[in-house]
Amino acid sequence: MIKSILPLRAVELGYIANARTLLDGISLTINRGTFTVVLGPNGAGKSLLLRLLHGMLEPSTGTISWANGSSADRRRRQAMVFQRPVHLRRSVEANIVFALGALGIPRKDRSGLVQLALERAGLTAARRVHARLLSVGEQQRLSVARALAAEPDILFLDEPTASLDPVSVHRIETLLIEANARGTAIVLVTHDVSQARRVGQKIVFLHDGRINGQGPAPSFLDNPNSDVARAYLAGKIIV
């Protein structure tokens, strides 16, 4: 077992597409076992930032560095849950097995990890069901279970509960808090202030492609150190 790939350090990240600066001057450190919420209005660049951190896109400027591990280790030890769940056309169980195989987890370890992941997500009874027959809430829970199955050092989530009912939201938040307690660092993107309050330890407020304020969750949310963040948290529409 190698050491954790964390901390993750992003320095002065920028992203320019079609001559538009979409992200600018983002510096950010994610330490082991932390729970960071990236908060901000639609179009702030939250999804883009997450894709850069997860290595889906190359930043135009700035650097992203991990503390340890080869590039293969880094792929294996991080995971991402996308806004819209994408599952292979096979059973719930087979989807998790596939992910473990793709991450290079030895065959003999897979069934144990799959069982654990299914249990934690409350999907054991649905293990043989075709993944695409699950309800939207269950599908997103499967996404989280699949992402957590290999016990990653860090998990990125892009508004995973944006279109779910309160019970499904609660179950996913519980999964995240439990995984965090086991040592997985979480970076959760949301535009939902009350969700940030429920789960976040640290808040990063993103607006117009820049970090517009950050701090420990309760104090930042109660007393944000930026005017835009204060307006957003007060429920005002900001542009």
Partner 1 sequence: MVREFREKPYMHDLNAAILLAAQLIYTGDADLLEIIGLSIGVSLTAVLASCVIGMLLGAAIAVLKFRGRGAVTILLNSLMGLPPVVVGLGVYLLLSRAGPLGVFGLLYTPTAMIIAQTILVMPIVAALTRQVVEDFYAEYDEQLRSLGVRGRRLVTTLLWDARYSLITVALAGFGRAIAEVGAVMIVGGNIDHLTRVMTTAIALETSKGNLALALALGIILVGVSLLVNGAVASLGRRFGRSRYD
Ligand X SMILES: Nc1ncnc2c1ncn2[C@@H]1O[C@H](COP(=O)(O)OP(=O)(O)O)[C@@H](O)[C@H]1O
Nearer to partner 1, 56 or 177 (CB): 56
The residue range among 46-54, 74-82, 121-129, 141-149 that interacts with ligand X, by the rule CB under 6 A, is 46-54
Provide the minimum distance between the beta carbon of 106 and partner 1 in the complex, in angstroms, as a whole number. 15
Residue 69, both tokens:
């591990």
Using CB under 6 A, which of 42, 112, 166, 235 touches ligand X?
A: 42
Nearer to partner 1, 32 or 130 (CB): 130
* Binding residues with partner 1: total (CB under 8 A): 20
Provide the minimum distance between the beta carbon of 58 and ligand X in the complex, in angstroms, as a whole number. 11
Applying CB under 8 A, does 54 fall inside the site for partner 1?
yes
Q: How many other CB atoms sit within 10 Å of the CB of residue 92?
A: 30
On the question of a cis peptide bond just before residue 7, with omega within 30 degrees of 0, the verdict is: yes
Applying CB under 8 A, does 15 fall inside the site for partner 1?
no
Applying CB under 8 A, does 9 fall inside the site for partner 1?
no
Report the partner that residue 103 touches, choosing among Mg ion, partner 1, ligand X, none (CB closer than 5 to 8 A by kind).
partner 1
Tell me which residues touch partner 1 (CB under 8 A): 54, 56, 72, 75-76, 79-80, 82, 86, 88-90, 98-99, 102-104, 130, 132-133
